[in-house]
Structure 1
Amino acid sequence: MRVLGLAGSLRAGSHSARLLALAGSALPAGAELVTWSRLGELPLYDPDVDARETHPVVESLRDAIREADALVIVTPEYNASVSGVLKNAIDWASRPRATTALQSKPVAVVSQSPGQFGGLWAADDLKRILKITGARPLEEAVSVAQIDTVLPDGAPALQDEELHDALVAQLAALVEAAQTATVAA
């Protein structure tokens, strides 16, 4: 099973990228995380450009999503929502609407922030955005509060066993949702 991973931050060594790597190691046996890390190369979404030309990085994103059985997206919280670069990627991936690569894709949402709420607003916004595109985000997101404490620089794992267990459970649910979708198709 192929799980595509997106980290919604461009910062080198970002908490989102580190959480995504941890998610890859927490996937159930038989599932493989493939990370698409070219969000910063995507042009700003423009429907006129999308209608008249194919951009190679956009096609790479769309193809990666099509080839995946499921997605895991880790988002930081910027100004009480998802990062602009992540929203831009979803805008590109969701077009053309009739054949969007996101249609019926199971998605696990993980949010993080240094604050006490762990990016809950970003997680809620991301789930809402994904539902509108036709994707199937899992109902529960994993929100990692106080990320600097829970995943300090150099730490090989989350320093909170409950959060680690929640991440493992969410990824198991993601794989199960993808398997169910495959059987139904």
Structure 2
Amino acid sequence: MPELKILAISGSLRAASYNSALVRAAQKHAPGDLAIEIYEGLRDIPPYDTDQDTQDAPAAVLDLRRRISEADGLFIATPEYNYGIPGVLKNALDWASRPALDSSLTGKPVAIAGAAPTNFGTVRAQLALRQMFLWTDSKVVGKPELQIFRAHERFDENGNLTDETTIELLQQLLGALGTKIRETRAIADAAL
């Protein structure tokens, strides 16, 4: 039985998204000690509005915050739009980062990946996420990095990840996330 619960978020709303296919591949190829739950509520999150960020925040926001809090770690697969992360993903993470002193992202172990049909992958988008997670003090996995370039050559027409090297790198990244979760727990336990 898996001991660690991972919430996987695709930063894309597109039905045939390579990044949504990547979170499904993470669920399929995860090491046996990880249970991957796919978050599918990104479309339901309203634009961030400080006036709505109260005890009675929108239900979709409260659900996202709860699910992040209950997860041991996050796996985020992001496309790259205009050298950065998609607005819907940034918006969701802005909501999750509030309230600043009690954010569901504070100290949360996170693994980042991305897939794109281009030759450059999602390098800049992943860098933007890493920078954002500095503010929330999330514990981002540094290595291995997973930027799936020319994604149309690594996924089949049904959205299945078929490239063995990419599957192996994905498993290594997920394994590193499991290690980061255990290390973060050990540090927290030692501080008690």
TM-score by length of 1: 0.94
Whole-angstrom CA distance in 1 between matches of 2:154 and 2:160: 11
Tell whether 2:153 aligns with 1:142: no
Cα deviation, residue 34, structure 1? 0.8
> Which stretch of the first structure deviates more once superposed, 11-20 or 95-104?
11-20
> Which stretch of the first structure deviates more once superposed, 62-71 or 138-147?
138-147
SS at structure 1 position matched to 2:142: coil
Match of 1:72 among 59, 71, 75: 75
CA contact (8 A) 1:75 1:123 kept: yes
Match of 1:176 in 2: 179
CA contact (8 A) 2:77 2:113 kept: yes
Moved over 3 A (4+): none
Whole-angstrom CA distance in 2 between matches of 1:87 and 1:79: 13
Cα deviation, residue 105, structure 1? 0.8
- Opposite residue 152 of structure 1, the aligned amino acid is D
Percent sequence identity is 32
Whole-angstrom CA distance in 2 between matches of 1:42 and 1:179: 31
- Opposite residue 9 of structure 1, the aligned amino acid is S
Cα deviation, residue 126, structure 1? 1.0
Q: Give runs of aligned pairs for residues 98-109 of structure 1, distance below 5 A.
A: 98-109=101-112
Cα deviation, residue 155, structure 1? 5.3
- Opposite residue 101 of structure 2, the aligned amino acid is A
Match of 2:160 in 1: 156
CA contact (8 A) 1:26 1:171 kept: no
Gaps of 5+ in 2: none
CA contact (8 A) 2:21 2:160 kept: no
Change (3 A) 1:155 1:46: closer
CA RMSD after TM alignment:
1.4
Gaps of 5+ in 1: none
SS at structure 2 position matched to 1:33: strand
Tell whether 2:106 aligns with 1:113: no
